Structure 1
């Protein structure tokens, strides 16, 4: 039997060092040193990057699927998809939206999603802006529920998990009482509220708008109006506008940054000379109720009556007097005094004068370019551009036309249906 091999001096030194380190950490009696605190699990969790939301910086766009509206946030640095949420009208959980103040559950509702923005293009884009709450990742919907044996329409918020909360109070009606209906939900970010209509039973175009305060969950009456189903909220200024026209057409009135010029996204002007429609702007701040006179605005703005010499419609203001159109070259017009009319006029008989194109942001070419969205600083716009082969990329370009468009990156889509995206905003 061989004798045990003696340890080397290096081995003994290693063992001694390990013992010394252990003793230092634990103390002479082997207990944990009081000066050394264990890591806080909460702090470790906080160090992880939070999951992105639709309200984070990036380009927000929407698409449609079968009975679903899909909202996706793309990176404004490389075009990659950051987060996507699918809002579906089927497969509801039967639960309320978590942490949503003031809502109530609904029993066996039938949900109707907003009009698909892909089918309506610019009109749908603006309509989707009215019903999507990016920061909260909620979609405004209409839903049908049973009230005392009668199917009635009401409004609610839907999340991507299929949770639904009604914005209206639970109704208790007698056997011969007709329950109230609610429709036309609109998001007003300027006042952090949701507006929705209680139609007049005798005239469904008229009614009373209620407001739902998002911070408190309280609902109150806001104002009455005569032609309410076309209510549109300018997401930048909070201006409310309605229009006597078919239900699928909204007024879509936008204001310049300083509030001096009002323009309509539809019909190339605020007032269509060829096919006049009454356009009103409601004002829920007056004691006398809303302003329902034609061409009346609760602002010092003047009306844009000139018609741009391009196929596009006014899409957004890039300065107090310059507007980008939604044509393929993203043409820019500069609004002059001759293109405007005074707000105080009861009737507008001025023929629309042609407004020349000042410059274009995109060179004429074979690509198909989508509607622009304005950067938070107002110095650039982003847009989706597609080749004839169907390849699509995000581009950015200065609003002053000083440079050609620069590619942000190809659209990263799991469904590979890049051409169907409609941009909503550049967060």
Structure 2
């Protein structure tokens, strides 16, 4: 099976268009703050949401809209999370109604999302006033505009697309995402909108989305905080012309692999663009006694504030890795664990059988001087593996979050 990364983001798949405008939610008039992504026909739809008990009003509305497994559009504003507001659900419903009127579709076919400051009322008038211009901005080349409009503290837009054969047809899966802070493995860790022209039944679309998220977005951590508005959602319009996937056959697994490639790349980009981050950290655990242990160990390492700070300082303080592995809530033998640190500058072995080994501090410094650092943990007690992604902890993280509202 051949998979190829292509340009176009959420507009790479047939039948989708996207656009964005500055509605006035954000004070910065040079930044668009309202995005829309639309399919020209009805889609199978699925979504996964934050596990935070406090959920943004848009999530509650979207959950209601997706009960039938169908939708046709994504609508998202940045600058205000519409969370913990007494009128939040009414505002989210009104946003859907406004978009539906402009698109001549049902409000129930709109997936709505918001991101930004929590606990601030979201004014409706700027959104409804901007809706005609937003609908007019829709374009088959509008993915980048939508990707930029949903950004908050992100420093770069995230958009990825993959094309591959499926059932004798050519299918595409594309996505955009935002996420820089309040990111932790507790589903879904950010806002991510995915489109595909593959035909797949809603139940199987939901299953594939959950399985892929568990291996990608649920393996990312920036700061240990789980946001109130996290959502991963997907629309599948069937425009590719493949026979609808209705069982877990070969076509289902080929589709899931394409989705995995898109989500894995976005997950890495989210981690690399963590608030204040200067390095992407990738922890690969092998030789684990079971899959769950492998995942827990990998996440424990990338979530360690002490280790993240050491990576910022380019200090091969491997003891912090062993410490993080040691407090993982799982059963294994620590005295069989080996650890190496590597990057494009080389590799340095720092631990064997749970104890330190001699290594060159100069070589280690060179390895940790790169922008992408790989932490390789061999547990030596099984055949399971997992990968988690994170970033270093820098002074800028505190600066960004010390005055986030102002």
Using structure 1 for the length normalisation, give the TM-score. 0.25
Which structure is higher in RCO with an 8 Å CA cutoff and minimum separation 6? 2
Structure in which a larger fraction of residues adopt strand:
1
Greater share of helix: 2
